[in-house]
Structure 1
């Protein structure tokens, strides 16, 4: 049974958080997609960043990617491939918009599978209900802060009800096929062979072994002609790609730092876990915090914004001159917006300022840690203006580290950590910082 190429459309850049040694693509023209298809790794990621966009723009970008993929797949003569719409393990994102567009452009598919389990982040699915580990307690995700997201809020943790809610009844809950833990562990190949007409399926998973078994059945069914689409968190990708251990252990990632000089930490995410991790990092005597007050960013003039940028970069220079590491972070105040559109405008304005900061960083930084999914995507695609980056592996469970290409104009061979906002314990950010600073 040949290994199909696994093509992942990632709605922020953190979906590669369980694999290693593959390409992340920041562009999706036919030539760049062909590079991904030709790469020796069985999996590659296209970073669409659609979670930061309006539904209309997300659909437009997804369609453009799929149409270019069709051309690239034909050009490269690829016969076997799987398409994954990778999204948030706490159920935020443009579902079913993205899977609908993929099905229109790259279908028909026999089924699409919701597989939100992400074990490294404490997310499991049992009896079709999705849970998040909160302070050691398995909590239905609709009871967490993520369900109250101002853009992607939802009311249900039971996946068939979630599907009915998000599709506005187009797919009723009773029409969602349920693959329970017992089904996965007993083997699902025969059921998979019976699926047709893009049947929506909700998949349980409590351990990686559950997904290993399910992935083996999926690949066997696909080898017999079944065509499947996935709306998935990262853990399924581990099982589908089957890459084995990463070449360099998480504890040894300091070898990729470019110099003995300090790196930079950039914190854009504002979720509660990020704030807790930031507080712990700022207690480290070798770092200095630089707060970026973004509360009035939409009201500021260009001149005021330029002055703020200059002031931050000057502080960065001074901190590094003193031999310490600057930790640049957005103000933590929870803001309320009159509409989703204004919320997205604000997010774009914050990102634009942070990317100007990235472009203004000293060229000799040893590493860059980017905290937050959308922030990390923008760092790669806009701040560093990369076409591709090579994933080295994980510096912490669920936390990827990539390296910029040798021909990157300003920051060649720079290790960049893509740290999701809601991953890791309270010490997670400090742990990653100390690993890259070679402090243990």
Structure 2
């Protein structure tokens, strides 16, 4: 075996490609589309499953469906060597362990599955098996942050072996989790990797990209010796595994992709505190016009009321665009409480449907689109723009990807679309991405 396996990433929201470039993002996973990813020149491709937005049973069914089709596609194109990465959130939210269990069930057996949640561009690192998030310059164990209190994916531990025990409900005890600590990662862990078997759970320290680069070198060497590994990972490991050259167009030159120098549109669905701060800064820009979409009563409203709301928003968008300004379309910001998780997810789905109707109604000569929030961005690609695949151009800011629609897209050909995660960047990051697409220094 060679040490160049195809890296197949099942991404639970569309922002996991935030450290790589020039590869395909697939919004569908029929066998034919997967074959396109497997035979593409890039060493890596992403299947956007969006499972973080789904309830557990649907998430498992989706992952299983992708893997069953992957099994057929891999056999059809005759690929021998591949790595499967279940890409998820660097703040430990998501459907673990049920997604990795489903992958192992269909595509296993694996010798080990690794938790590698480090994402350096976003200030997340792991030391002594404790996962940290840098908050206002201070390394903070993630269980002390807002992300640990997530109403769907909350947790109580930053010490990853304890997190694994909590999430597997004791099936994997903390004492059974293998730990690759920093000293071993840095000195080389190939021999240790070769000893792993029976889908052993392993948590991996990493404080810098160089740590994951060394780990990836050892992983690829072990894979070339026949070891089969599965990863539950944030984005920084993908940089190391794919080992790509620099992207073709530098982040500060991204205005070269803006269509005909025209103004664009900004769509904000994410509700995390960081997004709200970034939106506040964006609204200070002279060429940005705010359009707030009041979604509070969306679940109780009739179809007629919903249609009227959509009509009002789109009329305003067209007027702003005609004046050569950029509409910033955002959902009402107040924090809502729900009777149960099902109601919360139903509300999220209703908001998304409305936002995607807005995307479909955007001016066809739009210069660019910035989508803020992971689930919002997934829906923009798969539903709003109805894409089968998109080519990732690279990053416009650290951790913020930009893709382009195909040249034969019926409504928005060659449209640059920024996929901006909710919790990435400082308070001026959204402004900076906007200014780069506008060609402002």
TM-score normalised per structure 1 = 1.00
Match of 2:365 in 1: 364
Tell me the SS of whatever aligns to 1:75: helix
Match of 2:170 in 1: 169
Task: Please show how residues 37-436 of structure 1 align to structure 2 within 5 Å.
Answer: 37-436=38-437
C-alpha distance in 2, partners of 1:89/1:187? 24
C-alpha distance in 2, partners of 1:19/1:377? 17
CA shift, 1:439, in A, is 1.1
C-alpha distance in 1, partners of 2:191/2:321? 60
C-alpha distance in 2, partners of 1:161/1:368? 41
C-alpha distance in 2, partners of 1:261/1:37? 36
C-alpha distance in 2, partners of 1:243/1:70? 26
CA shift, 1:247, in A, is 1.2
C-alpha distance in 1, partners of 2:157/2:321? 47
C-alpha distance in 2, partners of 1:384/1:180? 43
CA shift, 1:2, in A, is 3.6
Confirm or deny: 8 A CA contact 2:3 2:220 kept in the other structure. no
Deviates further, 243-252 or 29-38: 243-252
Match of 1:33 in 2: 34
C-alpha distance in 1, partners of 2:207/2:169? 28
Q: Kindly provide the CA deviation profile for residues 82-129 of structure 1, in whole angstroms up to 9, marking residues without a partner as x.
A: 000000000000000100000000000000000000000000000000
Q: Kindly provide the CA deviation profile for residues 323-346 of structure 1, in whole angstroms up to 9, marking residues without a partner as x.
A: 210000011100001101111001
Confirm or deny: 8 A CA contact 2:3 2:221 kept in the other structure. no
Tell me the SS of whatever aligns to 2:357: helix
Aligned: 1:10 with 2:35: no
Q: Kindly provide the CA deviation profile for residues 116-161 of structure 1, in whole angstroms up to 9, marking residues without a partner as x.
A: 0000000000000000010000000001010011110111110000
Tell me the SS of whatever aligns to 2:175: helix
C-alpha distance in 2, partners of 1:282/1:69? 44
C-alpha distance in 1, partners of 2:399/2:363? 28
Aligned residues: 440
Q: Kindly provide the CA deviation profile for residues 371-413 of structure 1, in whole angstroms up to 9, marking residues without a partner as x.
A: 0000000000000000000000000000000000011110000
C-alpha distance in 1, partners of 2:387/2:163? 36
CA shift, 1:244, in A, is 2.0
Q: Kindly provide the CA deviation profile for residues 339-384 of structure 1, in whole angstroms up to 9, marking residues without a partner as x.
A: 0111100110010000000000010000000000000000000000
Tell me the SS of whatever aligns to 2:407: coil
CA RMSD of aligned residues (A): 0.5
Confirm or deny: 8 A CA contact 2:114 2:230 kept in the other structure. yes
Aligned: 1:20 with 2:8: no
Tell me the SS of whatever aligns to 2:261: coil
C-alpha distance in 2, partners of 1:403/1:121? 23
CA shift, 1:260, in A, is 2.1
Tell me the SS of whatever aligns to 1:401: strand
TM-score normalised per structure 2 = 0.99
Gaps of 5+ in 1: none
Q: Kindly provide the CA deviation profile for residues 54-76 of structure 1, in whole angstroms up to 9, marking residues without a partner as x.
A: 00000000000000000000000
